[in-house]
A and B are shown apart, each in its own frame.
Chain A
Amino acid sequence: MSTIIEAPRTPRERSSKGRVNWEKWGWLYMRLSGVLLLILIFGHLFVNLVLGEGIKEIDFAFVAGKYATPFWQWWDVVMLWLAMIHGSNGMRTIVNDYASHRTVRRVLLIGIAAAAIILIVLGTLVVFTFDPCNTFIPADQALTFCPVN
């Protein structure tokens, strides 16, 4: 079997014109989301790990305080969507590069997509349905500022 290797600058042959070039949009997405993620993640790391006593201060009350404001809810949800899709697309690229067996590749790609969908849905629901007074806590351990039911 001989493989034809085209010259590097040979234009890509378009078999069907007018179809969406997903690889191009994926390529562009990695760059656009990358810039946004740089701001979002460095901000996240600065607030959570650098300010104050850093990781020592992170507990339920710290996160509950953040999620009391729509600003941090949206910060985290936008970061979640952008990062999960950015990371999953990167993993897809790597799987396509190294997994040469058709079935193995397919299983890995489905796994990556499933993980992305499950974690995006889970994370979004967690942030937007979070209520410090309505977790699955025994009533006697409820936080002091919560109304008594």
Chain B
Amino acid sequence: MPNEAASTLTTARSSSKRPAGTLYRGNTGMWSWVLHRITGVSIYFFLLVHVLDTAMIRVSPQAYDAVMSTYKNPIMGLGETALVIAIMFHAFNGIRIILIDFWSKGAKYQRLMFWIVIALWVIGTAGFAPIHLHNVFTEPQ
């Protein structure tokens, strides 16, 4: 019985040298999971640093302004852009995961929802990146 169930999940063998595909492996389901993990871990480590840098507000104005000046450096500006892009994917794909779990048609539309996530991600990036990069790369006031 378990074998039978497993075999129904296997798609037809292809002639390529890649391992036989499944419904999951190599498809949107797998890549959304990979991206969710990578973005999640990145955001986590930034969060640890961000709580500590904000804690400088309690030390002195000089300490806080000094740590904030490092965030205004162009290389850090690129990092912040990447961070916000990661947050947007994690947020939109998180909503997709919730819909898969709780919406009766979620599993049926998971692939369509993946592409909606990608579309929102591209739109969000196009909206945010130019504004932030402009702020980072123009001269301070």
Are A7 and B68 closer than 8 Å at their CB atoms?
Answer: no
| Cβ contact of A135, chosen from B1, B58, B102, B128, cutoff 8 A | B58
Tell me the residues in window 97-141 of chain B with beta carbons closer than 8 Å to chain A beta carbons: 97-98, 101-102, 128, 131-132, 135-136, 140-141
Residues from chain A with a CB closer than 8 A to the CB of B44 are: 87-88, 90-91
- Min CB distance B131 to A, Å, is 6
Are B54 and A63 closer than 8 Å at their CB atoms?
Answer: yes
> Would you call B43 an interface residue if the criterion is a C-beta within 8 Å of the partner chain's C-beta atoms?
yes
> Would you call B35 an interface residue if the criterion is a C-beta within 8 Å of the partner chain's C-beta atoms?
no
Residues from chain B with a CB closer than 8 A to the CB of A84 are: 47, 51
Main secondary structure of the interface of A (DSSP, over half): helix
The size of the chain A interface, using a CB distance under 8 A, is: 46
- Min CB distance A32 to B, Å, is 9
> Would you call B60 an interface residue if the criterion is a C-beta within 8 Å of the partner chain's C-beta atoms?
yes
Per-residue B-contact encoding for A122-144, CB less than 8 Å = 1, 0 else: 11011001100001110001010
> Would you call A58 an interface residue if the criterion is a C-beta within 8 Å of the partner chain's C-beta atoms?
yes
Binds B, one of A16-24, A47-55, A100-108: A47-55
Residue of A nearest to B9 (CB): A8
Residue of A nearest to B138 (CB): A56
- Min CB distance B98 to A, Å, is 5
Are A60 and B57 closer than 8 Å at their CB atoms?
Answer: yes
Which residues of A are in contact with B by a Cβ distance under 8 Å? Answer: 5-8, 31, 34-35, 37-38, 41-42, 45, 49-50, 53-56, 58-61, 63-64, 67, 80, 83-84, 87-88, 90-91, 94, 115, 119, 122-123, 125-126, 129-130, 135-137, 141, 143
